[in-house]
């Protein structure tokens, strides 16, 4: 009868993710061992291994920094950058940090199109991305929580620690600033459109309005 390990992992999810990352790293190393002229044939298999990690990292960046991105473009770009690495980081956490630094560097570069280009159908348009991502961090946070995460004004107030009236006023001001001059834009599916009252404040939705 086998004995249980003396030390039990206190983070089974973290252990599972690390095991999966090791599998991905092995697949990447196998890809590097393929002759350069033959690697193109193996890109599909490698993409299937890396894509979930890239998407997870992108999601983490957008939530932490309250930015919006053309996701498909970001995934393709980060996959290409990853394929040029000599090896993968030792852990998925380090890989996420690398992805985050890469995205933030590109978004901050005014000559770079990431965060300011039209993406796939259903993704935010280029001008909307650009205006959203250039807002001050605090303004982005309010608008992201309300529009992208679909939080109520009450929830936005609770998450940010500001009074509801202040949140309603500032959401209206920020959205008016972003929307001004935009023509023929469509919000991505699932986003919540701010509805302003006559005073320019976001109108608190009632049950059934959403």
Percent helix, strand and coil across the chain, each to the nearest 5: 60, 0, 40
Beta bridge partners of 65: none
Segment 140-160, tens digit of pLDDT? 999 999 999 999 999 999 999
Instruction: Judge whether residue 134 has pLDDT over 50.
Output: yes
For the segment 35-45, the average pLDDT, to the nearest whole number, is 88
Instruction: Give percent of the chain with pLDDT exceeding 70.
Output: 87
CA distances from 153 to 64, 65, 68, 140 (A): 20, 20, 20, 15
Least Cα distance to 136 among 57, 209, 67, 52 occurs for: 67
Could you tell me the residue ranges of all domains in the chain? 16-108, 135-210
In the predicted model, what is the mean pLDDT of residues 175-201? 83
Q: Which of 84-88, 107-111, 115-119, 197-201 has the highest mean pLDDT?
A: 84-88
Average pLDDT, stretch 177-195?
82
Is 67 within 8 Å of 139 (Cβ atoms)?
A: no
- Per the CB < 8 A criterion, the answer to whether 132 and 67 are in contact is yes
**For the whole model, what pTM was predicted?**
0.80
């Amino acid at each position: 009868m086998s004995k249980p390990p003396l030390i039990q992992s206190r983070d089974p999810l973290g252990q599972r993710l690390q095991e999966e990352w090791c599998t991905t790293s092995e697949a990447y190393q196998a890809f590097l061992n393929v002759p350069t002229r033959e690697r193109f044939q193996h890109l599909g298999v490698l993409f299937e291994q890396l894509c979930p990690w890239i998407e997870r990292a992108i999601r983490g960046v957008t939530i932490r920094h309250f930015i919006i991105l053309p996701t498909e473009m970001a995934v393709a770009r980060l996959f290409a950058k990853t394929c040029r690495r000599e090896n993968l980081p030792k852990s998925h956490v380090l890989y996420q940090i690398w992805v985050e630094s890469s995205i933030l560097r590109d978004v901050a570069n005014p000559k770079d199109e990431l965060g300011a280009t039209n993406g796939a159908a259903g993704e935010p348009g280029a001008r909307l991305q650009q205006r959203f991502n250039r807002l001050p961090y605090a303004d982005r946070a309010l608008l992201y929580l309300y529009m992208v995460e679909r939080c109520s004004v009450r929830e936005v107030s609770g998450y940010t620690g500001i009074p509801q009236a202040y949140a309603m006023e500032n959401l209206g001001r920020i959205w008016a600033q972003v929307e001004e001059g935009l023509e023929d834009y469509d919000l991505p599916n699932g986003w919540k459109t701010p509805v302003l009252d006559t005073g320019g404040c976001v109108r608190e939705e009632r049950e059934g309005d959403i």
